[in-house]
Structure 1
């Protein structure tokens, strides 16, 4: 058991905590649980975790505030946020505070498992410990929204930064247009396609044949990182 990845589940809903504990233990993880941010802080004070699954909306201190303070303390533990808030602005807020990924409730347990395994794999490789992802000659810092090619900064619009944050946090996992669009409409989907094409102009040698930011038919877009 000591060799298994140790995950801290933080959620004020007892039923969800128990379901997550059972499901994740059955899939090869050690699990601890906390009902509040204060309880989570106490557990993290005495034990290091490989990953935190954290609800945003909790009484008292929110998951956003807890994540922000962890990053201010230079605690680089990967954080996967859970929330019933599905608006893109809420996902962006979660990523801006320093979370590594964001999953809207209700979610498929298998998707949660894929996200967790992806984050742990990236942590093992050392990429997210610096808050950065790299692809080809580019390095993107998730919190600052900074993209560099070697030593040269690449200028991004605010919308391009938002898109790249979401795609980088979900690196290797397809992101649906509806998760990037401000609203689930045909016009919103077209707007996403336009923004993706503009991003490709900045990060692809051949935007018509992308290597890093690819389309996944029927699923959306995926950013492939090193």
Structure 2
């Protein structure tokens, strides 16, 4: 099995849900490989964000705390090796595991990658099942971040992700079903931008305006100042992001 075997139907490899919601960043300039890996690893239970080059990856890592980063070495501009060095030298990301993924297979390249601080190394073409197993092994070895809790705190508000209940100052806040599901989706992807259309409960709403309306209503129930939101933030050009305490 190779990268071309990652398909939506049928599955093999690790047990479903093995990722337990861990958040991975896939950095590869090959759109096809990046999307196939996102799809395959999502089916393994991981949250997956993609970046097409090092500059985009830097911006994401400055905004989001990832559990592990998969980097392609051969990218236009800044290489995966240089990005690995940046990850290791930056205080906020220095402990983030890195797995290098590249078409190079020479021993010298592997040694250089590991000397820069990478935790593991795989050569293309590869079996996505092996990649998933290696990611799981790295995360078990390094511990990773704590899993998403059942409840998240948003100032004086608390959202129960299982019961879909919102409390503020000890008083229940009425949520419509659409608002509750939207808030849960944002909570699952806390601190990560979620595209507006991915939040839309109605695929016929190509404008995303229904989501905007729900966000406005949620801010009234969550924020001390809904016009200057602290927790339910707008990410321009993308959608929305929940930033719990």
Normalising by structure 2, we get a TM-score of 0.49
The alpha-carbon deviation at position 125 of structure 1 amounts to 7.8
Alignment of 1:1-226 (within 5 A): 4-74=21-91, 75-124=94-143
The alpha-carbon deviation at position 96 of structure 1 amounts to 0.5
The alpha-carbon deviation at position 72 of structure 1 amounts to 1.5
The answer as to whether partners of 2:103 and 2:125 remain within 8 angstroms in 1 is yes
Q: Provide the residue aligned with 2:8 in structure 1.
A: none
CA RMSD of aligned residues (A): 1.9
C-alpha distance in 1, partners of 2:25/2:144? 21
Give secondary structure in 2 for the equivalent of 1:77: coil
The answer as to whether partners of 2:67 and 2:144 remain within 8 angstroms in 1 is no
C-alpha distance in 2, partners of 1:125/1:104? 24
The alpha-carbon deviation at position 103 of structure 1 amounts to 0.2
C-alpha distance in 1, partners of 2:116/2:68? 16
The alpha-carbon deviation at position 91 of structure 1 amounts to 0.4
Which has more radius of gyration? 2
**Which consecutive unaligned segments of at least 5 residues does structure 2 have?**
1-16, 146-245
Cα distance change on mapping 1:125 and 1:11 into 2, 3 Å? closer
C-alpha distance in 2, partners of 1:69/1:125? 19
- Encode CA deviations 1:180-205: one digit per residue, 9 max, x unaligned: xxxxxxxxxxxxxxxxxxxxxxxxxx
C-alpha distance in 1, partners of 2:49/2:87? 18
C-alpha distance in 1, partners of 2:42/2:27? 15
The alpha-carbon deviation at position 73 of structure 1 amounts to 1.7
What stretches of structure 1 move > 6 A for 4+ residues in a row?
A: none
Normalising by structure 1, we get a TM-score of 0.54
C-alpha distance in 1, partners of 2:38/2:144? 26
C-alpha distance in 1, partners of 2:47/2:144? 21
Give secondary structure in 2 for the equivalent of 1:98: coil
